[in-house]
Amino acid sequence: MNEFLLSAAGIILFTVAVGLVRVLSGPTNADRIMATQLLGTGGITSLLLVASATGVRGVDDVALGLALLAAFAAIAFVDNVAAPDSDTSKGDRTE
Amino acid sequence: MNVLLDLFSVIAICFGTFFFLAGTAGLLRFPDALSRLHALTKADNLGVGLIVLGLLPHAGSLLAALKLVAIWALIQLAGATSAQLIARAIRRSG
Amino acid sequence: MSILQILDIGLAGLVLAVAAWTVFARDAFAAVVGFVAYGLLLSLVWVRLFAVDVALTEAAIGSGEHPTITHQPTSGVLLIGAAGRLRKVEASRDDELPGASLRLFAAALCIFVTLVLAGVVLSLPDPGPTLAPEAARHLAETGLGNPITAVLLSYRSFDTMLEKVVLVLAVVGVWSLAADQYWGGAAGNPRGAEPDGTRALLAQVLPPLGILIGIHMVWVGADEPGGAFQGGAILAAMWMITMMAGLTEMPSIRSRLLRLVLVAGPAVFVAVGVAGVAFASGVFAYPTGFAKPLILFIEAFMTLSIAVTLPVLVAGPPKRLRQQ
């Protein structure tokens, strides 16, 4: 069972890592944010699987902290995302 | 009973992993940013959800199980709101 | 090779790849995104190294070392703000970009430092010199179950106290960057008349949960991975979310309450330390049997200070006068 959990953790981690290619190539900054978000979600999930497999204490707290701050990071980045030719920040307050 | 729980976990986690694969494939291959965002949120919701479901039988205590569900809820919340914000940013700049 | 080993090697490779990309990224935003991804992977690495407290700090604060001046994603926020401010300047200052020779020198310096560090780590005797068994042996006297907390707040509490003071100095440094006419004003954005819907939702749902989790981490840090830094950073993030949504605003730097809270942590720490002369065997000693309650007392104030200091640092120097 543990090997299965660890394999799943590995597969997920490397899947989202491949998604990081979007950070490299993503035509817009939004793509980069998305790829990082996927990495975050995949990372948290891998942590949960590893925590269950290895039984180290406190790892689920790390996952909890990461999950809590994922939204925070997303807001912070979206506030500052700007296409190369436009300058937007908190612009959608008018909506 | 244990074997049944293990089987359930294995199936749930396999499906969850599949959704992560699908989400990443979507992120890499879909033609425009908005559809990529769509793929991303599928991984967030279903991928994490199924894996959390699969890990619940193995949670050590009620508190641990609650933490798992809380993590899922938080990821959903983060995913949903940031999808909104990112979509607006895409619309504004595209 | 076991699966765990394959996982570890893959993780290490991934960290290196992301780090390399961050260094070579074209523009500041992309580099910051890479840096955030790098920090995330790094907290996974810490977990695999069985340093769960460090992983928590990395996830919540960032550098994994105390004192914490880089925070992730707080550092992500800090850096992205800086990148935003620089973007307006970058375009007009092309002639001032570092030339090739300067970059080569910087690269050579980094490589040199890396090689030296690697050499030192690889040449350590096996097992490396460590005080860990000693620390573990005396754990019972501190009343704590988490050796890391014991090191931070008991064996080496003087260092931790100084680190808190460093944070206060950082705030002073950041505030001193204010333009003269804004001295006494407020940093960050004013409270919005109509808070943005999506962000407001997040700002109303997350903080109650976040406050609970933050306090839980501080409390549990006595015996399990956790502690004041981690909990404080989470509380800080919660406050920053409400500010980003426009539901609250950063108080003016003149505010007595703000200043009081900022120094409360180190002040209480120093007070308890000095009181050790009268009530225990010396400065920064705890009277026997009272160690744990005193430590939790100090941690409570430290958490409060950290929770307020981090957003103050991220908000930067005041840019506006308070309009009332």
* Cα C65 from Cα C259, distance rounded (Å): 26
Residue C196: both structure tokens together: 């943005």
**Predicted pLDDT of residue C109:** 94
* C-alpha span between B63 and B43 (Å, rounded): 25
Lowest mean pLDDT among B22-36, C67-81, C191-205: C67-81
* Number of residues written out for chain A: 95
pLDDT average, residue stretch C231-235: 90
**Closest alpha carbon within chain C to B76:** C202
For residue C87, pLDDT over 70 is answered with no
Q: What is the mean pLDDT of residues C193-213?
A: 83
Cβ of C47 within 8 Å of Cβ of A59? The answer is yes
- Asked if C248 contacts C204 with a C-beta cutoff of 8 angstroms, the reply is no
Of B60 and C109, more confident: C109
Q: What is the pLDDT along chain B (94 residues), one digit of tens a residue?
A: 788 888 999 999 999 999 989 888 888 888 888 888 888 887 778 899 999 999 998 887 888 899 899 999 999 888 888 888 888 888 877 6
Q: Which residues contact B25 (CB under 8 A, 6 or more apart)?
A: B39
- Cβ-defined contact of B81 to C199 (cutoff 8 Å): yes
Separation CA A25–CA A83 (nearest Å): 14
Is residue A79 a contact partner of residue C29, using CB atoms and an 8 Å limit?
Answer: no
Structural tokens at position B20: 């992560």
Q: A residues 4-43 near B, CB within 8 Å?
A: 4-5, 8, 11-12, 15-16, 18-19, 21-22, 27-31, 33-35, 37-38, 41-42
Domain boundaries in chain C?
A: 1-82, 98-129, 133-324
Q: Which of B50-64, C59-73, C92-106, C156-170 has the lowest mean pLDDT?
A: C59-73
Q: Please write the tens of the pLDDT for every residue from C126-166.
A: 777 787 888 888 887 777 888 888 888 888 888 888 888 99
- At residue C91, the pLDDT reads 58
* C93 or C120, greater pLDDT: C120
Angle between the C74-90 and C228-244 helix axes, to the nearest 10 degrees? 50
HEC profile of C63-89: CCCCCCCCCCCHHHHHHHHHHHHHHHH
C-alpha span between B15 and A92 (Å, rounded): 37
ipTM value > 0.90: no
Cis peptide leading into A84, omega within 30 of 0? no
Q: What spatial distance separates the first Cα and last Cα of chain B, rounded to whole Å?
A: 54
Tens-digit pLDDT profile for residues B9-34: 999 999 999 998 988 888 888 888 88
- The region, left, alpha or beta by phi > 0 then psi within -120 to 50, assigned to residue C126 is beta
> Is 90 exceeded by the pLDDT of residue C113?
yes
Chains touching B (3+ CB pairs < 8 Å): A, C
- Give chain A's residues under pLDDT 70: 23, 26, 80-95
CB-nearest to A37 from B6, B40, B71 is B40
Lowest-confidence range among A21-30, C113-122, C152-161, C284-293?
A: A21-30
Least confident of C100-109, C242-251, C306-315: C242-251
Note the pLDDT of residue C202. Answer: 84
Using 50, 70 and 90 to split pLDDT, how confident is the model at C46?
confident
| Residues C204 and C239: beta-carbon distance below 8 Å | no
- pLDDT at residue C62 tops 90: no
Residue C186 bridge partners (DSSP):
C320
Task: Please check whether residue A16 is in contact with residue A41, taking contact to mean a CB–CB distance below 8 angstroms.
Answer: yes
CA distance C260 to C267: 10
Asked if residue A22 belongs to a domain, the reply is yes
Domain around A51: 2-80
H or E stretch covering C281: none
Rounded to a whole number of angstroms, the distance between the first and last alpha carbons of chain C is 67
pLDDT number for residue C97: 66
Contact B77 C202 (CB under 8 A): yes
Give the minimum alpha-carbon distance from A77 to chain C in angstroms, rounded to a whole number.
7
pTM of the shown model: 0.83
Gap between the Cα atoms of C8 and C11, Å rounded: 5
Is pLDDT larger for residue C91 or for residue B20?
B20
> Are C53 and A58 within 8 A, CB to CB?
yes
**Residue C303 pLDDT:** 92
Of B16, B52, B86, the CB nearest to A34: B86
Residue B91 and residue C2: Cα distance in Å, rounded?
A: 47
Average pLDDT along chain C:
81
Residues of C in contact with A43 (CB under 8 A): 40-41, 43-44
Q: Using the beta-carbon criterion (under 8 Å), do B81 and C198 form an inter-chain contact?
A: yes
C237/A68 CB distance under 8 A? yes
Give C92: exposed, middle or buried? Use CB within 10 Å, 0-12, 13-18, 19+. Answer: exposed
Q: How confident is the model at residue C72 (pLDDT cuts 50, 70, 90)?
A: very low
Nearest neighbour of A48 by CB, restricted to B51, B79, B92: B51
For residue C90, what pLDDT band results from cuts at 50, 70 and 90? Answer: low
* Tokens representing residue C223 in the block: 């015996």
Whether C67 shows a pLDDT value over 60: the answer reads no
Cβ of B17: how many Cβ atoms within 10 Å? 22
Return d(Cα C285, Cα C153) in angstroms, integer.
10
Q: Which residues of A touch C213 (CB under 8 A)?
A: 64-65, 68
- Look at residue A89 and tell me if it is in a domain: no
Task: Quote the crossing angle between the two packed helices A29-54 and B48-55, to the nearest 10°.
Answer: 10
Tokens of C290: 């009272």
Tally of domains in chain A: 1
DSSP classification of residue C124: S
Q: Is residue A27 part of a domain?
A: yes
Contact A70 B55 (CB under 8 A): no
Q: Quick check: is A73 in a domain?
A: yes
Q: At A13, is the secondary structure helix, strand, or coil?
A: helix
Q: For residues A21 and A39, give the distance between their C-alpha atoms in angstroms, rounded to a whole number.
A: 11
pLDDT tier for residue C260 given thresholds of 50, 70 and 90: very high
Cα–Cα distance, B71 to A63 (Å, whole number) = 7
